[in-house]
Structure 1
Amino acid sequence: MRLDRFLWWARLAKTRSAAQAIASDGHLRLDGRAIDRAHACVRVGNVLTYIAHGRVRVIRVEALPVRRGPAPEAQGCYTDLETANVSQQARVD
């Protein structure tokens, strides 16, 4: 699946053009590689790292969406790794 389409369908970007901008600005990493094109291929298990709203987002692709559905359906397509790390650290402390 195209990277810009995944970002839009998974509701990580508000519009398709915003998703294309995220992908083509060169600030997004796919499994550690810098990406500068919106048509990069995304697969299940890939880790995406990018800046959104002043913070670094790190997500792992869990499933490829079949449509741009409601938010709960979209959130099932990825795992936010930053949130998972914060909650694990809170339990340790």
Structure 2
Amino acid sequence: MAAGMSEQQRGAGLRIDKWLWCARFFKSRAQATQAVIGGRVHVDAERVKPSRMVYVGDRLEITREALRFEVVVTAIPVRRGPAAEAQGCYAETPASIAARERHQAQSRMAAHAAPSGRPDKHARRVLRDLRRG
């Protein structure tokens, strides 16, 4: 949204930490506040404080563990309701969806490729030879 618009022109807003909690990105409001303080949440590509008001149309970048979400605020929730209601408060960008799916596919592949225990003598020799080149 435009920086020069007043709060009345922008419509109703909500604190970023409360919005993240209501939209179910975090299990508690305290976790949402810590994420914002820690710099894992950006509004319109700038780092913000937990008291920053969020309005419809704002673009949020949320990093949670290894996942990164890019969403556009579509509604300001009145309360923390069920997940289906929470998902109606934002629209995830297509690029964010593709990146998240790619990350999940890589995680699944890595889980299948992990060794199933300690390597035996033969496998240790192969690994040692690979490291030495």
TM surpasses 0.5: yes
Identity of paired residues, percent?
36
Query: Radius of gyration: which is bigger?
Result: 2
State yes or no: 1:44 paired with 2:44.
no
State yes or no: 1:34 paired with 2:47.
yes
Name which of 6, 11, 23 aligns with 1:10.
23
**Paired position in structure 1 for 2:34:** 21
Structure 2 Cα separation of the partners of residues 84 and 31 of structure 1? 20
The TM-score, its normalising length taken from structure 1, stands at 0.84
Aligned letter for 2:30? S
Bigger strand share: 1
The list of structure 1 runs, each at least 4 consecutive aligned residues, that deviate by more than 6 angstroms after superposition, is 84-87
The TM-score, its normalising length taken from structure 2, stands at 0.60
Count of residues in correspondence between the two structures: 86
Unpaired stretches in structure 2, ≥5 consecutive residues: 1-13, 102-133
